[in-house]
Structure 1
Amino acid sequence: MVESNSVGQTLSDQFLQFAVEKQVLRFGEFKTKAGRMSPYFFNAGLFDTGSSLQRLSEFYAQTLLEKTAALDLQFDMIFGPAYKGIPLVAGTSIELARKGRDIPYAFNRKEVKDHGEGGSLVGAPLEGRVVIIDDVISAGTSVRESVQIIRDNGAEPAAVLIALDRMEKGVRNGEDTVHSAVQEVEQHYGIPVISIASLQDLLRYLLTRQAANVRLAGWYEKVKEYRARYGV
Protein backbone atom coordinates (compact mmCIF):
# COMPACT_ATOMS: atom_id res chain seq x y z
CA MET A 1 0.00 0.00 0.00
CA VAL A 2 1.30 3.45 -0.90
CA GLU A 3 1.39 5.86 2.02
CA SER A 4 2.80 9.38 2.03
CA ASN A 5 4.53 8.81 5.38
CA SER A 6 5.81 5.27 4.71
CA VAL A 7 9.11 4.77 6.60
CA GLY A 8 9.78 8.50 6.46
CA GLN A 9 9.60 8.69 2.68
CA THR A 10 7.52 11.15 0.73
CA LEU A 11 5.12 9.84 -1.88
CA SER A 12 7.43 11.11 -4.63
CA ASP A 13 10.40 9.29 -3.07
CA GLN A 14 8.45 6.04 -2.98
CA PHE A 15 7.44 6.51 -6.59
CA LEU A 16 10.97 7.26 -7.79
CA GLN A 17 12.32 4.24 -5.93
CA PHE A 18 9.64 2.10 -7.57
CA ALA A 19 10.48 3.53 -11.01
CA VAL A 20 14.19 2.83 -10.53
CA GLU A 21 13.50 -0.73 -9.34
CA LYS A 22 11.36 -1.39 -12.42
CA GLN A 23 13.98 0.27 -14.68
CA VAL A 24 11.33 2.66 -15.90
CA LEU A 25 13.60 5.46 -14.71
CA ARG A 26 17.09 4.90 -16.12
CA PHE A 27 20.36 6.78 -16.09
CA GLY A 28 22.84 7.07 -18.96
CA GLU A 29 22.87 9.11 -22.17
CA PHE A 30 19.50 9.47 -23.88
CA LYS A 31 18.52 11.73 -26.76
CA THR A 32 15.25 13.55 -26.12
CA LYS A 33 12.65 14.61 -28.69
CA ALA A 34 14.16 18.08 -28.42
CA GLY A 35 17.55 16.70 -29.49
CA ARG A 36 19.15 17.14 -26.06
CA MET A 37 21.36 14.51 -24.45
CA SER A 38 19.68 13.76 -21.14
CA PRO A 39 21.32 11.84 -18.28
CA TYR A 40 18.01 10.21 -17.40
CA PHE A 41 15.07 8.69 -19.21
CA PHE A 42 11.56 7.89 -17.99
CA ASN A 43 9.31 5.50 -19.91
CA ALA A 44 6.01 4.73 -18.18
CA GLY A 45 5.25 2.14 -20.87
CA LEU A 46 7.69 -0.16 -19.05
CA PHE A 47 5.24 -0.53 -16.17
CA ASP A 48 4.11 -3.54 -18.17
CA THR A 49 2.89 -6.15 -15.68
CA GLY A 50 -0.33 -6.35 -13.71
CA SER A 51 1.39 -5.78 -10.37
CA SER A 52 3.42 -2.79 -11.60
CA LEU A 53 0.37 -1.17 -13.21
CA GLN A 54 -1.60 -1.72 -10.03
CA ARG A 55 1.05 -0.03 -7.89
CA LEU A 56 1.51 2.78 -10.42
CA SER A 57 -2.24 3.37 -10.28
CA GLU A 58 -2.03 3.62 -6.50
CA PHE A 59 0.48 6.43 -6.86
CA TYR A 60 -1.76 8.25 -9.33
CA ALA A 61 -4.83 7.89 -7.12
CA GLN A 62 -3.07 8.91 -3.91
CA THR A 63 -1.42 11.91 -5.58
CA LEU A 64 -4.72 13.02 -7.08
CA LEU A 65 -6.53 12.87 -3.75
CA GLU A 66 -3.77 14.55 -1.75
CA LYS A 67 -2.94 17.35 -4.17
CA THR A 68 -6.50 18.25 -5.16
CA ALA A 69 -7.34 18.44 -1.44
CA ALA A 70 -4.35 20.73 -0.88
CA LEU A 71 -5.45 22.93 -3.79
CA ASP A 72 -9.14 22.75 -2.75
CA LEU A 73 -9.78 21.55 -6.29
CA GLN A 74 -13.04 19.74 -7.07
CA PHE A 75 -13.36 17.11 -9.82
CA ASP A 76 -16.16 14.85 -10.99
CA MET A 77 -14.45 12.34 -13.26
CA ILE A 78 -11.16 11.41 -14.95
CA PHE A 79 -10.16 11.11 -18.61
CA GLY A 80 -7.31 9.21 -20.29
CA PRO A 81 -6.08 10.25 -23.74
CA ALA A 82 -5.24 7.50 -26.22
CA TYR A 83 -3.10 5.56 -25.98
CA LYS A 84 -0.94 5.62 -22.85
CA GLY A 85 -3.67 7.35 -20.86
CA ILE A 86 -6.08 4.45 -21.32
CA PRO A 87 -4.57 1.94 -18.86
CA LEU A 88 -3.62 4.82 -16.55
CA VAL A 89 -7.15 6.17 -16.25
CA ALA A 90 -8.67 2.70 -15.85
CA GLY A 91 -6.16 1.70 -13.17
CA THR A 92 -6.49 5.01 -11.34
CA SER A 93 -10.28 4.72 -11.26
CA ILE A 94 -10.00 1.29 -9.61
CA GLU A 95 -7.62 2.59 -6.96
CA LEU A 96 -9.77 5.68 -6.34
CA ALA A 97 -12.74 3.39 -5.73
CA ARG A 98 -10.68 1.37 -3.25
CA LYS A 99 -9.95 4.62 -1.43
CA GLY A 100 -13.66 5.47 -1.24
CA ARG A 101 -13.88 7.77 -4.27
CA ASP A 102 -15.83 5.82 -6.91
CA ILE A 103 -16.09 8.20 -9.88
CA PRO A 104 -16.70 7.80 -13.63
CA TYR A 105 -13.89 7.58 -16.15
CA ALA A 106 -13.62 7.79 -19.93
CA PHE A 107 -11.01 7.65 -22.68
CA ASN A 108 -10.89 8.29 -26.40
CA ARG A 109 -10.04 6.26 -29.48
CA LYS A 110 -7.85 7.78 -32.15
CA GLU A 111 -10.07 6.17 -34.78
CA VAL A 112 -13.78 7.03 -34.85
CA LYS A 113 -15.95 3.90 -34.61
CA ASP A 114 -18.62 3.75 -37.32
CA HIS A 115 -20.68 0.87 -35.88
CA GLY A 116 -22.26 -0.07 -32.55
CA GLU A 117 -22.44 3.00 -30.33
CA GLY A 118 -20.08 4.82 -32.72
CA GLY A 119 -17.95 7.82 -31.92
CA SER A 120 -14.47 8.16 -30.45
CA LEU A 121 -15.27 8.13 -26.72
CA VAL A 122 -15.42 5.07 -24.47
CA GLY A 123 -16.72 4.98 -20.92
CA ALA A 124 -18.84 7.44 -18.99
CA PRO A 125 -20.22 10.61 -20.61
CA LEU A 126 -17.94 13.59 -20.14
CA GLU A 127 -19.63 15.77 -17.54
CA GLY A 128 -18.64 18.29 -14.92
CA ARG A 129 -15.02 18.94 -13.98
CA VAL A 130 -12.61 16.48 -15.56
CA VAL A 131 -9.02 15.58 -14.62
CA ILE A 132 -6.84 14.45 -17.55
CA ILE A 133 -4.45 11.61 -16.70
CA ASP A 134 -1.31 10.95 -18.75
CA ASP A 135 2.31 9.85 -18.26
CA VAL A 136 4.27 13.03 -19.10
CA ILE A 137 3.82 16.30 -20.97
CA SER A 138 6.33 16.79 -23.79
CA ALA A 139 4.88 19.06 -26.47
CA GLY A 140 1.44 19.35 -24.89
CA THR A 141 -0.31 17.83 -27.92
CA SER A 142 -2.15 15.18 -25.93
CA VAL A 143 -3.41 17.73 -23.42
CA ARG A 144 -4.55 20.09 -26.17
CA GLU A 145 -6.54 17.33 -27.87
CA SER A 146 -8.00 16.19 -24.54
CA VAL A 147 -9.11 19.69 -23.56
CA GLN A 148 -10.83 20.08 -26.92
CA ILE A 149 -12.65 16.74 -26.54
CA ILE A 150 -13.76 17.60 -23.01
CA ARG A 151 -15.06 21.04 -23.96
CA ASP A 152 -16.74 19.77 -27.13
CA ASN A 153 -18.78 17.47 -24.89
CA GLY A 154 -19.90 20.26 -22.57
CA ALA A 155 -17.53 19.48 -19.70
CA GLU A 156 -14.62 21.47 -18.26
CA PRO A 157 -10.98 20.43 -17.74
CA ALA A 158 -10.10 20.78 -14.04
CA ALA A 159 -6.45 19.65 -13.96
CA VAL A 160 -3.86 17.40 -15.56
CA LEU A 161 -2.19 14.60 -13.59
CA ILE A 162 1.12 13.19 -14.84
CA ALA A 163 3.77 10.84 -13.45
CA LEU A 164 6.89 13.00 -13.90
CA ASP A 165 7.38 16.72 -14.49
CA ARG A 166 10.81 17.15 -16.14
CA MET A 167 10.72 20.91 -15.33
CA GLU A 168 12.56 21.50 -18.60
CA LYS A 169 12.47 24.31 -21.15
CA GLY A 170 10.56 23.54 -24.31
CA VAL A 171 11.89 23.97 -27.83
CA ARG A 172 10.26 26.01 -30.58
CA ASN A 173 11.78 26.52 -34.03
CA GLY A 174 15.05 25.09 -32.78
CA GLU A 175 15.32 27.55 -29.87
CA ASP A 176 14.81 27.02 -26.14
CA THR A 177 11.59 28.54 -24.83
CA VAL A 178 11.29 30.44 -21.55
CA HIS A 179 8.72 28.06 -20.11
CA SER A 180 8.37 24.30 -19.87
CA ALA A 181 5.59 22.38 -21.61
CA VAL A 182 3.90 21.97 -18.22
CA GLN A 183 4.02 25.72 -17.52
CA GLU A 184 2.65 26.48 -20.98
CA VAL A 185 -0.30 24.14 -20.38
CA GLU A 186 -1.03 25.80 -17.03
CA GLN A 187 -0.84 29.29 -18.51
CA HIS A 188 -2.74 28.58 -21.72
CA TYR A 189 -5.63 26.60 -20.19
CA GLY A 190 -5.66 28.07 -16.70
CA ILE A 191 -5.57 24.67 -15.01
CA PRO A 192 -2.97 23.12 -12.68
CA VAL A 193 -0.67 20.30 -13.76
CA ILE A 194 -0.14 17.88 -10.88
CA SER A 195 2.73 15.39 -10.89
CA ILE A 196 3.60 12.40 -8.74
CA ALA A 197 7.25 13.51 -8.90
CA SER A 198 9.28 16.29 -10.48
CA LEU A 199 12.88 16.88 -11.50
CA GLN A 200 13.38 18.67 -8.18
CA ASP A 201 12.16 15.54 -6.37
CA LEU A 202 14.50 13.42 -8.49
CA LEU A 203 17.52 15.53 -7.53
CA ARG A 204 16.67 15.23 -3.85
CA TYR A 205 16.15 11.49 -4.24
CA LEU A 206 19.53 11.02 -5.96
CA LEU A 207 21.35 13.13 -3.38
CA THR A 208 20.00 11.09 -0.48
CA ARG A 209 20.18 7.65 -2.10
CA GLN A 210 23.35 7.63 -4.22
CA ALA A 211 25.63 6.49 -1.38
CA ALA A 212 23.50 3.40 -0.73
CA ASN A 213 22.79 2.42 -4.34
CA VAL A 214 25.66 1.82 -6.76
CA ARG A 215 23.33 2.30 -9.76
CA LEU A 216 22.68 5.89 -8.65
CA ALA A 217 26.27 6.85 -7.85
CA GLY A 218 27.48 9.91 -9.77
CA TRP A 219 24.16 10.73 -11.41
CA TYR A 220 23.19 13.50 -9.02
CA GLU A 221 25.84 15.83 -10.43
CA LYS A 222 24.99 14.97 -14.04
CA VAL A 223 21.25 15.56 -13.52
CA LYS A 224 22.03 18.77 -11.61
CA GLU A 225 24.15 20.02 -14.53
CA TYR A 226 21.37 19.16 -16.97
CA ARG A 227 18.85 21.06 -14.89
CA ALA A 228 21.18 24.08 -14.67
CA ARG A 229 21.36 24.15 -18.46
CA TYR A 230 17.77 23.33 -19.45
CA GLY A 231 15.65 23.63 -16.31
CA VAL A 232 12.94 26.17 -15.51
Structure 2
Amino acid sequence: MTLSNKSIAPEEVLGIFKESEALLEGHFRLTSGRHSRQYMQCAKVLQYPHHAARLGEALAESFQGHNIDLVIGPAMGGILVAHEVGKALGTKALFTERENGEMKLRRGFELQPGQRVLVVEDVITTGGSVREVIEVVKAYGAEPVGVGVIVDRSCGKSEFGVPLAALLEIEIESFDPEACPLCAEGIPAIKPGSRAVPTGK
Protein backbone atom coordinates (compact mmCIF):
# COMPACT_ATOMS: atom_id res chain seq x y z
CA MET A 1 0.00 0.00 0.00
CA THR A 2 1.39 3.38 -1.04
CA LEU A 3 0.36 6.45 0.92
CA SER A 4 -0.28 9.75 -0.85
CA ASN A 5 1.30 13.03 0.16
CA LYS A 6 -0.49 16.33 -0.31
CA SER A 7 2.01 18.66 1.34
CA ILE A 8 4.73 18.53 -1.33
CA ALA A 9 4.70 17.80 -5.06
CA PRO A 10 7.24 15.41 -6.65
CA GLU A 11 8.30 18.29 -8.91
CA GLU A 12 9.27 20.34 -5.85
CA VAL A 13 11.31 17.44 -4.43
CA LEU A 14 13.12 16.95 -7.74
CA GLY A 15 13.74 20.71 -7.89
CA ILE A 16 15.35 20.58 -4.43
CA PHE A 17 17.68 17.79 -5.62
CA LYS A 18 18.67 19.72 -8.73
CA GLU A 19 19.18 22.94 -6.78
CA SER A 20 21.40 21.07 -4.32
CA GLU A 21 23.34 19.37 -7.16
CA ALA A 22 22.38 16.04 -5.63
CA LEU A 23 21.49 14.16 -8.85
CA LEU A 24 24.92 12.84 -9.86
CA GLU A 25 26.05 11.43 -13.21
CA GLY A 26 28.82 8.83 -13.61
CA HIS A 27 29.34 5.14 -12.77
CA PHE A 28 28.16 4.23 -9.29
CA ARG A 29 28.08 1.09 -7.17
CA LEU A 30 24.85 1.23 -5.17
CA THR A 31 24.32 -0.05 -1.63
CA SER A 32 22.30 -2.89 -3.17
CA GLY A 33 25.41 -3.98 -5.12
CA ARG A 34 23.95 -2.98 -8.49
CA HIS A 35 25.59 -0.39 -10.74
CA SER A 36 24.06 2.77 -12.20
CA ARG A 37 24.82 5.83 -14.35
CA GLN A 38 23.03 8.11 -11.87
CA TYR A 39 23.01 8.51 -8.12
CA MET A 40 20.70 10.43 -5.79
CA GLN A 41 23.05 11.88 -3.15
CA CYS A 42 20.59 12.88 -0.42
CA ALA A 43 23.39 14.09 1.83
CA LYS A 44 23.85 17.06 -0.50
CA VAL A 45 20.19 17.96 0.07
CA LEU A 46 20.15 17.29 3.80
CA GLN A 47 23.20 19.52 4.39
CA TYR A 48 20.70 22.38 4.15
CA PRO A 49 18.60 22.39 7.35
CA HIS A 50 15.66 24.14 5.66
CA HIS A 51 15.47 21.40 3.00
CA ALA A 52 15.82 18.65 5.64
CA ALA A 53 13.01 20.20 7.68
CA ARG A 54 10.75 20.63 4.64
CA LEU A 55 11.20 17.01 3.52
CA GLY A 56 10.88 15.64 7.06
CA GLU A 57 7.64 17.54 7.63
CA ALA A 58 6.26 16.28 4.31
CA LEU A 59 7.06 12.65 5.18
CA ALA A 60 5.56 13.09 8.64
CA GLU A 61 2.35 14.41 7.08
CA SER A 62 1.87 11.07 5.33
CA PHE A 63 1.72 9.31 8.71
CA GLN A 64 -0.41 11.74 10.70
CA GLY A 65 -3.08 9.72 12.47
CA HIS A 66 -0.99 6.51 12.50
CA ASN A 67 -0.16 6.93 16.21
CA ILE A 68 3.61 6.72 15.70
CA ASP A 69 5.55 6.26 18.95
CA LEU A 70 9.05 6.37 17.51
CA VAL A 71 10.94 6.92 14.23
CA ILE A 72 14.01 4.92 13.23
CA GLY A 73 16.33 4.82 10.21
CA PRO A 74 19.55 3.10 9.17
CA ALA A 75 22.90 4.87 9.46
CA MET A 76 24.02 6.85 7.68
CA GLY A 77 21.32 7.92 5.23
CA GLY A 78 18.40 7.51 7.59
CA ILE A 79 19.81 9.44 10.57
CA LEU A 80 18.86 12.96 9.52
CA VAL A 81 15.63 11.77 7.93
CA ALA A 82 14.61 10.07 11.19
CA HIS A 83 15.53 13.18 13.17
CA GLU A 84 13.46 15.52 11.01
CA VAL A 85 10.45 13.19 10.77
CA GLY A 86 10.62 12.54 14.51
CA LYS A 87 10.74 16.26 15.18
CA ALA A 88 7.68 16.83 12.99
CA LEU A 89 5.77 13.98 14.67
CA GLY A 90 6.91 14.87 18.19
CA THR A 91 8.59 11.50 18.80
CA LYS A 92 12.07 10.16 19.56
CA ALA A 93 14.33 9.42 16.58
CA LEU A 94 16.76 6.47 16.67
CA PHE A 95 19.11 4.91 14.16
CA THR A 96 20.53 1.47 13.56
CA GLU A 97 24.14 0.70 12.64
CA ARG A 98 26.04 -2.22 11.19
CA GLU A 99 28.24 -4.21 13.53
CA ASN A 100 30.20 -6.99 11.84
CA GLY A 101 27.80 -6.66 8.90
CA GLU A 102 24.66 -7.03 11.02
CA MET A 103 22.12 -4.24 11.51
CA LYS A 104 21.75 -3.45 15.23
CA LEU A 105 20.66 -0.87 17.76
CA ARG A 106 23.68 0.49 19.64
CA ARG A 107 24.58 3.49 21.85
CA GLY A 108 22.07 2.52 24.50
CA PHE A 109 19.11 2.85 22.13
CA GLU A 110 16.15 0.63 22.97
CA LEU A 111 12.72 -0.23 21.64
CA GLN A 112 9.86 -1.34 23.84
CA PRO A 113 7.42 -4.16 23.04
CA GLY A 114 4.28 -2.82 21.42
CA GLN A 115 5.76 0.51 20.32
CA ARG A 116 4.44 1.67 16.94
CA VAL A 117 7.54 2.40 14.87
CA LEU A 118 7.96 4.28 11.59
CA VAL A 119 11.02 3.22 9.57
CA VAL A 120 12.55 5.92 7.35
CA GLU A 121 15.35 6.12 4.80
CA ASP A 122 16.72 8.67 2.36
CA VAL A 123 16.76 6.56 -0.84
CA ILE A 124 15.68 2.99 -1.58
CA THR A 125 16.58 0.93 -4.64
CA THR A 126 15.85 -2.63 -3.51
CA GLY A 127 14.83 -1.72 0.04
CA GLY A 128 17.31 -4.12 1.62
CA SER A 129 18.48 -1.81 4.42
CA VAL A 130 14.89 -0.91 5.33
CA ARG A 131 13.97 -4.59 5.61
CA GLU A 132 16.93 -5.13 7.94
CA VAL A 133 15.73 -2.27 10.16
CA ILE A 134 12.21 -3.74 10.16
CA GLU A 135 13.65 -7.03 11.41
CA VAL A 136 15.48 -5.17 14.21
CA VAL A 137 12.21 -3.50 15.21
CA LYS A 138 10.39 -6.84 15.27
CA ALA A 139 13.18 -8.47 17.30
CA TYR A 140 12.43 -6.02 20.12
CA GLY A 141 8.74 -6.86 20.01
CA ALA A 142 7.88 -3.43 18.58
CA GLU A 143 5.52 -3.01 15.65
CA PRO A 144 6.70 -1.53 12.32
CA VAL A 145 3.66 0.39 11.03
CA GLY A 146 5.05 2.20 7.98
CA VAL A 147 8.04 3.07 5.81
CA GLY A 148 8.78 6.63 4.71
CA VAL A 149 11.45 7.51 2.16
CA ILE A 150 12.47 10.67 0.36
CA VAL A 151 13.28 8.91 -2.93
CA ASP A 152 11.93 5.55 -4.11
CA ARG A 153 14.07 4.33 -7.00
CA SER A 154 12.03 1.12 -7.18
CA CYS A 155 8.94 3.13 -8.19
CA GLY A 156 6.72 1.25 -5.76
CA LYS A 157 8.13 -2.21 -6.50
CA SER A 158 9.74 -2.62 -3.06
CA GLU A 159 7.44 -4.45 -0.65
CA PHE A 160 7.73 -4.11 3.12
CA GLY A 161 4.42 -5.50 4.38
CA VAL A 162 3.47 -2.05 5.75
CA PRO A 163 2.28 1.18 4.08
CA LEU A 164 4.98 3.03 2.11
CA ALA A 165 5.20 6.80 1.59
CA ALA A 166 7.72 8.26 -0.86
CA LEU A 167 8.10 11.94 -1.67
CA LEU A 168 9.59 11.17 -5.09
CA GLU A 169 9.50 8.09 -7.29
CA ILE A 170 12.17 8.14 -9.96
CA GLU A 171 13.25 5.24 -12.14
CA ILE A 172 17.01 5.22 -12.63
CA GLU A 173 18.35 2.32 -14.65
CA SER A 174 20.63 -0.02 -12.74
CA PHE A 175 22.64 -3.05 -13.80
CA ASP A 176 23.85 -6.34 -12.38
CA PRO A 177 27.64 -5.89 -11.98
CA GLU A 178 28.27 -8.85 -14.29
CA ALA A 179 26.21 -7.24 -17.05
CA CYS A 180 27.12 -3.59 -16.49
CA PRO A 181 27.92 -1.75 -19.76
CA LEU A 182 29.99 0.85 -17.88
CA CYS A 183 32.18 -1.91 -16.43
CA ALA A 184 32.52 -3.33 -19.94
CA GLU A 185 33.87 0.06 -21.03
CA GLY A 186 36.44 -0.08 -18.23
CA ILE A 187 35.00 2.90 -16.34
CA PRO A 188 35.75 2.54 -12.60
CA ALA A 189 32.70 2.35 -10.33
CA ILE A 190 32.60 4.55 -7.26
CA LYS A 191 30.57 4.06 -4.08
CA PRO A 192 29.32 7.51 -3.07
CA GLY A 193 27.26 6.30 -0.12
CA SER A 194 28.29 5.43 3.42
CA ARG A 195 29.52 1.84 3.36
CA ALA A 196 32.73 2.12 1.38
CA VAL A 197 35.21 4.43 -0.30
CA PRO A 198 35.40 4.83 -4.12
CA THR A 199 36.76 1.73 -5.73
CA GLY A 200 37.21 0.03 -9.07
CA LYS A 201 35.09 -3.00 -10.00
Residue-by-residue CA offset, 1:171-207 (whole Å, 9 max, x unaligned): xxxxxxxxxxx53433xxx11221111127xxxxxxx
Q: Distance in 2 between matches of 1:56 and 1:43?
A: 13
Contact 1:105 1:124 (8 Å CA) reproduced: no
Partner secondary structure for residue 21 of structure 2: coil
Q: Paired residues, what number?
A: 163
Equivalences for 1:1-232 in 2 at 5 Å?
10-26=8-24, 28-31=25-28, 33=30, 37-38=36-37, 40-47=38-45, 49=47, 52-65=48-61, 67-69=62-64, 73-94=66-87, 96=88, 101-111=89-99, 120=106, 122-123=108-109, 125-126=111-112, 127-167=114-154, 183-186=157-160, 190-199=161-170
Q: Relative contact order (C-alpha < 8 Å, sep 6+): which is higher? A: 2
Question: What TM-score do the two structures reach when normalised by structure 1?
Answer: 0.58
Q: Distance in 1 between matches of 2:81 and 2:63?
A: 18
How many Å apart are 1:42 and its aligned residue? 0.7
Partner secondary structure for residue 78 of structure 1: strand
Query: % of aligned pairs identical?
Result: 19
How many Å apart are 1:110 and its aligned residue? 2.8
Gaps of 5+ in 2: 1-5, 175-201
Give the aligned partner of residue 220 of structure 1.
Answer: none
Contact 1:147 1:157 (8 Å CA) reproduced: yes
Identify the structure with the greater helix proportion.
1
Name the aligned partner's letter for residue 43 of structure 2: G
Contact 2:77 2:121 (8 Å CA) reproduced: yes
Contact 1:108 1:121 (8 Å CA) reproduced: no
Name the aligned partner's letter for residue 157 of structure 1: P
Contact 1:109 1:122 (8 Å CA) reproduced: no
Gaps of 5+ in 1: 113-118, 169-181, 201-222, 228-232
Contact 2:117 2:146 (8 Å CA) reproduced: yes
Q: Distance in 1 between matches of 2:97 and 2:35?
A: 31
How many Å apart are 1:48 and its aligned residue? 5.7
Q: Distance in 2 between matches of 1:140 and 1:53?
A: 25
Partner secondary structure for residue 131 of structure 1: strand
Pairwise CA RMSD: 3.2
Structure of greater Rg: 1
